[in-house]
Structure 1
Amino acid sequence: MNPITGLLSSLTGVPESTLRLVLTVILGYPVSTYYKKRFLSQASSSSTVEQRNQYILLSGLVLNFFFNGLSIYHSLLTVGLSWIICFVVGENMGDRKLAAAGVWIFNALYLLLGYYFMQTDDYDITWTMTQCILCLRMMGFAFDYYDGSQPQQTEQKKSAVALPLSFQSDTPLATLPDIQQFVAYSVFPTAFLVGPQFSFSLYSKWIQDDNSGLTIEQKEERDRAQTLYIWRCAILAVIYLGLQQTVGASYSTAYLLTKEYQSLCFIKRVLIFLVAGKFAFNKYIGIWLLTEGATTGFGISFEGNNEEGHASYGGLANALPSQYETATSIDHIIGSFNINTNLWSKYYVFKRLKFLGNKNASQFGTLAFLAIWHGFHPIYFITFLLEFLCVQCELILRKRLLPLVQTYTKKNDLLAHVWKAVAWFTCQATITYCVVGFELLNLGKAWSAYKSVYFFGHILLIIILAANQYLPKPRSAIKKAQ
Structure 2
Amino acid sequence: MWGLTLSLLGYLNISPVPYLADCVGTTEPALKLLISILAAYPMAVMYHRYIVTHNNLRNIFFIIAGLDMAFYNFGLSMVHNLIPTIVIYVSTMFLPGKFNVILTFVFNMAYLLIGYIVTESEDYDITWTMPHCVLTLKLIALSFDLWDGEKMLKGNERLSETNKKTALVKAPSFSELIGFIYFPSCFLVGPIFSFRRYSDYLNDKFPLHEKHVYNKVAMKRLVQGVAYLIAFQVGVTIFNMKYMLSEEFLETSIFYRHIYCGLWAHFALYKYISCWLLTEASCIRFGLSYNGSEKDGNGVMVSQWDGCSNIKLLRFEFATKFQHYIDSFNCNTNHFAAEYIYKRLKFLGNRHLSQLFTLLFLALWHGIRSGYYMTFFNEFIIIFMEKELESIISKTATYRWLWSTYAKYPMYVLLKLYTIVFMGWSLVPFDVKVFSKWWTVYSALYFSGFLLFLPWAIVYKPLLLNLVRKKSD
TM over 0.5: yes
* Aligned-pair CA distance for 1:204: 0.3
Aligned to 2:338: 346
Aligned to 1:372: 364
* Aligned-pair CA distance for 1:418: 2.5
Q: Which runs of 4+ in 1 moved over 6 A?
A: 152-155, 474-478
* Aligned-pair CA distance for 1:274: 1.2
Aligned to 2:46: 34
SS of the equivalent of 1:306 reads strand
Cα contact 2:122–2:434 (8 A) shared by 1 = yes
* Cα distance between partner residues in 1 of 2:151 and 2:111: 28
SS of the equivalent of 2:225 reads helix
Aligned to 1:107: 108
Taking the TM superposition and a 5 Å limit, the aligned residue runs for 1:81-480 are 81-87=87-93, 89-90=94-95, 95-151=96-152, 156-157=158-159, 160=161, 163=162, 169-209=164-204, 219=209, 222-308=210-296, 309-404=301-396, 405-409=398-402, 412-468=404-460, 470-471=462-463, 473=465
Taking the TM superposition and a 5 Å limit, the aligned residue runs for 1:65-76 are 65-76=71-82
SS of the equivalent of 2:171 reads coil
* Cα distance between partner residues in 2 of 1:104 and 1:250: 42
* Cα distance between partner residues in 1 of 2:345 and 2:455: 30
Which stretch shifts more, 6-15 or 58-67?
Answer: 6-15
Q: 2:127 is aligned with what amino acid? A: T
Using a 3 Å threshold, how does the CA distance of structure 1 residues 331 and 454 change in structure 2: closer, same or farther?
A: same
Using a 3 Å threshold, how does the CA distance of structure 1 residues 247 and 97 change in structure 2: closer, same or farther?
A: closer
* Aligned-pair CA distance for 1:205: 0.4
* Cα distance between partner residues in 2 of 1:31 and 1:102: 35
Q: 1:156 is aligned with what amino acid? A: R
SS of the equivalent of 1:142 reads helix
Cα contact 2:97–2:144 (8 A) shared by 1 = no
Cα contact 1:147–1:154 (8 A) shared by 2 = no
* Cα distance between partner residues in 2 of 1:290 and 1:269: 32
* Cα distance between partner residues in 2 of 1:116 and 1:442: 14
Cα contact 2:261–2:421 (8 A) shared by 1 = no
* Aligned-pair CA distance for 1:264: 1.6
* Cα distance between partner residues in 2 of 1:106 and 1:26: 32
* Cα distance between partner residues in 2 of 1:154 and 1:239: 51
Aligned to 1:45: none
SS of the equivalent of 1:310 reads strand
SS of the equivalent of 1:294 reads helix
Using a 3 Å threshold, how does the CA distance of structure 1 residues 474 and 300 change in structure 2: closer, same or farther?
A: farther
Q: 1:435 is aligned with what amino acid? A: L
SS of the equivalent of 2:122 reads coil
State, as a whole percentage, how many aligned pairs show the same letter.
29
Q: 2:414 is aligned with what amino acid? A: V
Cα contact 1:141–1:199 (8 A) shared by 2 = yes
User: What's the TM-score, normalizing by structure 2?
Assistant: 0.90
* Cα distance between partner residues in 1 of 2:322 and 2:359: 15
* Cα distance between partner residues in 2 of 1:314 and 1:102: 32
Give a deviation string over 1:272-293, Cα, whole Å, max 9, x none: 1111111121111111111111
* Cα distance between partner residues in 1 of 2:362 and 2:40: 27
* Cα distance between partner residues in 2 of 1:224 and 1:280: 34
* Cα distance between partner residues in 1 of 2:100 and 2:29: 36
* Cα distance between partner residues in 1 of 2:354 and 2:370: 21
* Cα distance between partner residues in 2 of 1:421 and 1:374: 33
* Aligned-pair CA distance for 1:332: 1.6
Q: 1:303 is aligned with what amino acid? A: N
* Cα distance between partner residues in 2 of 1:193 and 1:474: 52
Using a 3 Å threshold, how does the CA distance of structure 1 residues 85 and 338 change in structure 2: closer, same or farther?
A: same
Cα contact 1:225–1:312 (8 A) shared by 2 = no
Note the residue ranges of structure 2 that are not aligned, 5 or more in a row.
Answer: 1-5
Give a deviation string over 1:290-324, Cα, whole Å, max 9, x none: 11111111111011333313332111101111110
* Aligned-pair CA distance for 1:417: 2.6
Cα contact 1:32–1:298 (8 A) shared by 2 = yes
* Cα distance between partner residues in 1 of 2:50 and 2:412: 50
Cα contact 1:254–1:440 (8 A) shared by 2 = no
* Cα distance between partner residues in 2 of 1:406 and 1:270: 27
Cα contact 1:230–1:294 (8 A) shared by 2 = yes
SS of the equivalent of 1:245 reads helix
Q: 2:402 is aligned with what amino acid? A: T
Note the residue ranges of structure 1 that are not aligned, 5 or more in a row.
Answer: 43-47
* Aligned-pair CA distance for 1:10: 4.1
Cα contact 2:277–2:311 (8 A) shared by 1 = yes
Q: 1:80 aligns with which of 80, 86, 103?
A: 86
